[in-house]
Structure 1
Amino acid sequence: MEIDNSISKNIANPRELERMYREDPKAFKKSFSHAWEQNPDSPVLAAWYERLNFKEAAHTEKTSLLQKGFLFMGILAILAGISTRIIFHFVEQEAIAPINLAFGILPFIAAYFVYKNNPPKKVLYTLALMFLLSGLYLNMLPSNHNDSIILAYLHLPIFLWGLIGLAFIGNEYGMGRTRLAYLKFNLEFCILYASMAISGMLLAALTMQLFSFVGLDIEDFYFRNVVLFGAAALAIVATYLVSMNLKLAKNITPYIAKIFSPLVLATLLVYLITVIWVGKNPFLDRNFLLVFNGILFSVLAVTIFSITESGTDKKKNISDYISFALIILALIIDSVALSAIVFRLSSYGITPNRIAVLGVNILIWGNLIWIMVSYMRFLQNKTGPSTIQDAVTKYLPVYVLWAAFVTFTFPLIFN
C-alpha cells in the first residue's frame, strides 16, 4: 500500500515515478493497478498504463504467431518427408522420373510462404494451378529419355523455383526490393541447409557405425526411411529459420561474398591463361564447351551473389571493382561460348541441346551487358548501387520464362 500511495503522490513528478519503477519494476507494476483505479483521469498514469501493458500484449501476440508458425512448419516438414519417401518408392520402381522428387519438397516451401505472407487469391490460385499442371505434364512425357525430355527435366526445377519466388513475393512481384529479398533468402537458405545437412550426415554416420558394432547393417533402411525423410523435412525447417531472421546466415553471407569473389576472379584468370597456353578450343571440343558454360554459370552466380550482398552503400570499395572485373570476365567467356555454339550449329546442324544452350547464353549475355552498363555508371558516380541490383532482379523473370519454354515446348517440338 505504501508504494501505491507513493505513485499517487508523485503523479506530477515523472522523474520520481521513473526512479521507483527502475528500483523495483515488479513491485511497481503490481501496485500500479491500484493507483490507476484511484486516479483514472490522470494522463501521466494513462501513459504509464500503456507503457506497462503494451509490451506484454505485443510479446504475447508475437509468441502466439511464433507458436502458430512453428506448428505449421512442423506439419509441412512431416508432410514433405512423407511425400518424398512415397515418391522415392515409385522412382525406385521406375514408374516415374527421379525429377518428381522436387514435388516432395518445393510445393511445401511455397505453402509455407503462402501461409506466412497471405498473398491475394489470384496468386494463390496461380501457384496451385502451376504446380498441378507441372506435375501432370511431367508425368505425361515419354520415358524414352531423349535430349528434349532430359532438357525438360533440367529446366523444370528453375521454373518451380520461380513459382516459389512468386509465393515469397506475393502481390509485390513488380518491386525490386522483394525480388532482392528472395535472392538473399536463397543464399541464406543454402548456407543454413548445408550446415544442418553436414550435421545430419555426421549423425547418420555415427548411427550406422554404432549399429554395426552389434552386427546390424542398417545402411539401406536408414537411408530410405530416415535420411530421405530428414533431407526433405530439413528444407522446410531451414525455410522457417531463415524467414525468422536467423542471424547466423545473415551475418555470414556478406563475408562469404567478399572472400569468394577475389578468389574466383584469380582462379579463373589463371585457368583461362592456361587454356590459351595449352591450346584448348571450345569450337571443336564439345566437352570443353560444356566446361566453358559451366564456368560461365559459376561466374554469373558468384557475381549475382556479390551484388546481392553489396547493400545500398553508395561508397565504392575494392569489392565493387572485383565484381566489375568478374562481369567483364563472364562477358568474355559468354561471347566465346556463343561464337562456339553458333559455329557448331552451322557446322553440325540443329539439336535440342544446342538450341537450349544457345538460348540461355543469349539471355546471360544480355543480362551481363545490362549489369556491366549499370556498374560502369555506378563507378562513374552517375547512379547508385540500386541500379545494379535492378539489373539483376528485373531480369529474373526472363530466366524463369525461358525455363518454362524449354520445359513445356521442347518435348513437343523435337519429338
Structure 2
Amino acid sequence: MTVTNDPDELEAQFAQWRRYVRRRPELSESDADELEDHLRGSVGQLTALGLHDDEAFLVAVKRMGGLDELSREFAREHSERLWKQLVLTGDTGPRSRSRTDLIVMLICALGAAVSVKVPELFQHSIGYDLDGFYSLNYSLFALPWLAAFLLWRRRAGRLVCGVVAALFVVGAAAANLYPLDTESQSIDVVATHLPIALWFVVGLAYISDGLRSARRRMDFIRFSGEWFVYLTLIGLGGGVLTAFAMGAFNAIGIDLWEFTNLWLLPCGLVSAVVVAGWLVEAKQGVIENIAPVLTRLFTPLFTVGLLAFLVTIGWNGRRIDVDRGNLVLFDLLLVLVLGLLLYSMSARDPMAPAGKFDVMQLVLVASALVMDALVLFTMTGRVAQYGSTPNNSTALGANIVLLVNLIWTAWLLLRFVRRRQPFAVIERWQTTYLPVYAGWMWIVVLVLPPVFAFR
C-alpha cells in the first residue's frame, strides 16, 4: 500500500468519516464535532510518533472502534437527550431534521396512497383487476415515492434525480405500452421482475451521495434487509389491527369488507413501503442490533436444510423435477440464500478475523452452488427438449447469473477462511456484482417480452 503525507488526502478521509458518522440521526452536529476532534487528536499523536498520515488515520479509527460502539458510548453519556431524539420529540438540532424528515415522509406516503387510487378514474378497478393493470403497475405507485424521499434526504443533484425519474418512466412504459395479454407468460415475467428492477433504481437514489463507493452499495444491501424487516412488521401489525377492526364493526352490523379491500389495504401497502424506508433511516440503531441475530439464526437453518436436500438427492439418485412450480421454488430459495449471505456480510465487522460462522457461510454457499448447478443442468435439458419460453428463459438466465456469483463467492470465502485475503475483497465483489443483477432484471422486463413476441 502506498502511504503519503498529503494534507488534502487526509482532509478527504476526515470528510468521508464525518459523512459516515452524520448518517446516524441520533448523533447531533456537536456530537460529530466532538468525535472528529477526538479522531484528529489521535491522528496528531500518531503522526508525531512517525506514522504517515494514512497509517495514522487508519490506526486512529480502529482504536476508536465501530460507530455502533461510539453510539452506545454517547447514549450512555447523553441517554435522556438521545432517547427523546429517538421518539422524535424536541425542536432543535437533529430533532428538527427528524421532524422535517417525518413531514416529507408523510407527504410521500400520502402521494403513494393517492396515486394508487387515481387509475380508478380511468376505469381501472383495483378490486377486479381483469386487465392486469394493477399487477403490472403496483410497484410504480410505491417505489417512486420512496426514491423521492431518499433523493430529498441525500440532497441528490439534478442529474441523479433525472436518471432515477427516467428509469421509472422506462419501467412504466414497459408495463403499459407492451401488448401483454393476461394469459401470456410475458405478463407474469414483467409483473414479477419489474418491482426488482425498480428496487435497484431505489438503490441508485439511496447511494446518490456516494455513487462510486463500494461501502455505500453495501449500505444499500443492509437497507434492503432492514426495510424488508420493517415492512413485514408493519404488515403483521396492520393485519392484526384490520382483523380486529372488521370484527368489532361486524359486531354492530357494519360490513367493512369493501372499505378494507378497496381502500385500506391498497393504500396502506404502498404507504407502508415509504414508511418502512423512513424507519430504516430514522431508527438505524434499533434494527442494527437485530441484524446480526437474524443472520446467525437463519444461516445455520438454511445450511442444514440445503445439506439435507443434497444428501437426499444423492441417496435416492433422483433428478430434480423442474416444472414451473418447482422452478419458482428453487429460484426463490437461491435468492433467499443469496440475500441472507449479503445481509450477513453487511452486518459483519469487516475487520474481524475469520471464524466458525464464516466457515458455515462457506458451506451454505457451496451447498447453494451445487443445487444451482443441478437445477441449471436439468433446466438446460428441458429447454433443449421442449424449446424456450419466457418463463424458462428467465429462470435459465437468473440461474446463470446466480451461478457466476456463487462460484466466485465460494472461492473468495475459501481464501478468507484460510486467511489468504481480507474480508473487504468479498464485500467488493458483492457490491461490484449488484449492477449485473440490475442489468438482468431490466433485460427480462424490456428485452425478453418482444423477443418472444409477448406470448
Common fold, TM-score beyond 0.5?
yes
Residue correspondence of structure 1 range 261-272 to structure 2 within 5 A: 261-272=299-310
**Equivalent residues of 2:322, 2:375 under 8 A apart:** no
**Equivalent residues of 1:123, 1:170 under 8 A apart:** yes
Q: Within 2, Cα distance between the matches of 1:103 and 1:286?
A: 27
CA 1:219 to 1:290, structure 2 compared with 1: closer, same or farther past 3 Å?
A: closer
TM-fit CA distance, 1:320: 0.5
Question: Would you say 1:206 and 2:238 are equivalent positions?
Answer: no
Q: Within 1, Cα distance between the matches of 2:180 and 2:449?
A: 11
Letter in 2 for 1:342: T
**Equivalent residues of 1:204, 1:227 under 8 A apart:** no
- Name 2:356's counterpart in structure 1: 318
- Name 1:117's counterpart in structure 2: 154
Structure 2 segments unaligned to the other structure (5+ residues): 1-80, 82-89
Letter in 2 for 1:137: A
TM-fit CA distance, 1:276: 4.0
- Name 1:82's counterpart in structure 2: 114
Deviates more, 1:403-412 or 1:108-117: 403-412
Question: Would you say 1:162 and 2:200 are equivalent positions?
Answer: yes
Question: Would you say 1:131 and 2:168 are equivalent positions?
Answer: yes
Structure 1 segments unaligned to the other structure (5+ residues): 1-54
Q: What does the per-residue CA deviation read over 1:230-275, in whole Å, with 9 as the maximum and x for residues that have no partner?
A: 2222221221121113433211111000011001111222233334
- Name 1:308's counterpart in structure 2: 346
The partner residue of 1:61 within 82, 93, 106 is 93
- Name 1:244's counterpart in structure 2: 282
Residue correspondence of structure 1 range 26-37 to structure 2 within 5 A: none
**Equivalent residues of 1:123, 1:171 under 8 A apart:** no
Q: Within 1, Cα distance between the matches of 2:316 and 2:257?
A: 45
Q: Within 2, Cα distance between the matches of 1:255 and 1:286?
A: 34
**Equivalent residues of 1:352, 1:414 under 8 A apart:** yes
Q: Within 1, Cα distance between the matches of 2:189 and 2:443?
A: 11
Deviates more, 1:398-407 or 1:283-292: 283-292
Residue 395 of structure 1 aligns to a residue whose secondary structure is: helix
CA 1:119 to 1:139, structure 2 compared with 1: closer, same or farther past 3 Å?
A: same
CA 1:216 to 1:107, structure 2 compared with 1: closer, same or farther past 3 Å?
A: same
The partner residue of 1:397 within 432, 435, 438 is 435
The partner residue of 1:108 within 145, 160, 167 is 145
Residue correspondence of structure 1 range 180-259 to structure 2 within 5 A: 180-259=218-297
Letter in 2 for 1:336: L
Residue correspondence of structure 1 range 33-44 to structure 2 within 5 A: none
TM-fit CA distance, 1:87: 4.3
Q: Within 2, Cα distance between the matches of 1:128 and 1:226?
A: 28
Q: What does the per-residue CA deviation read over 1:97-123, in whole Å, with 9 as the maximum and x for residues that have no partner?
A: 412111110000000011000122211
**Equivalent residues of 2:136, 2:187 under 8 A apart:** no
CA 1:100 to 1:244, structure 2 compared with 1: closer, same or farther past 3 Å?
A: same
Percent identity of paired positions between Structure 1 and Structure 2: 28
Residue 349 of structure 2 aligns to a residue whose secondary structure is: coil
Residue 320 of structure 2 aligns to a residue whose secondary structure is: coil
TM-fit CA distance, 1:287: 4.7
- Name 1:19's counterpart in structure 2: none
Q: Within 2, Cα distance between the matches of 1:288 and 1:242?
A: 34
Q: Within 2, Cα distance between the matches of 1:206 and 1:83?
A: 27
Q: Within 2, Cα distance between the matches of 1:250 and 1:392?
A: 20
The TM-score, its normalising length taken from structure 1, stands at 0.81
Residue 205 of structure 1 aligns to a residue whose secondary structure is: helix
Q: Within 2, Cα distance between the matches of 1:329 and 1:227?
A: 39
Q: Within 1, Cα distance between the matches of 2:129 and 2:330?
A: 36
The partner residue of 1:73 within 86, 99, 105 is 105
Q: Within 2, Cα distance between the matches of 1:321 and 1:364?
A: 20
Letter in 1 for 2:306: L
CA 1:73 to 1:255, structure 2 compared with 1: closer, same or farther past 3 Å?
A: same
TM-fit CA distance, 1:196: 2.1
Letter in 1 for 2:208: G
The partner residue of 1:293 within 303, 321, 331 is 331
Residue 333 of structure 1 aligns to a residue whose secondary structure is: helix
**Equivalent residues of 1:282, 1:289 under 8 A apart:** no
- Name 2:178's counterpart in structure 1: 141
Q: What does the per-residue CA deviation read over 1:368-389, in whole Å, with 9 as the maximum and x for residues that have no partner?
A: 1121121122112122111111
Q: Within 1, Cα distance between the matches of 2:159 and 2:333?
A: 39
**Equivalent residues of 1:281, 1:288 under 8 A apart:** no
Letter in 2 for 1:363: V
Q: Within 1, Cα distance between the matches of 2:437 and 2:239?
A: 33
The partner residue of 2:389 within 351, 362, 372 is 351
- Name 1:360's counterpart in structure 2: 398
Letter in 1 for 2:392: R
Letter in 1 for 2:130: E
The root-mean-square deviation of aligned C-alpha atoms, in Å, is 2.2
Tell me how many residue pairs correspond in the alignment: 359
Residue 251 of structure 1 aligns to a residue whose secondary structure is: coil
Q: What does the per-residue CA deviation read over 1:287-332, in whole Å, with 9 as the maximum and x for residues that have no partner?
A: 5444333332232222222222222133222210110000100110
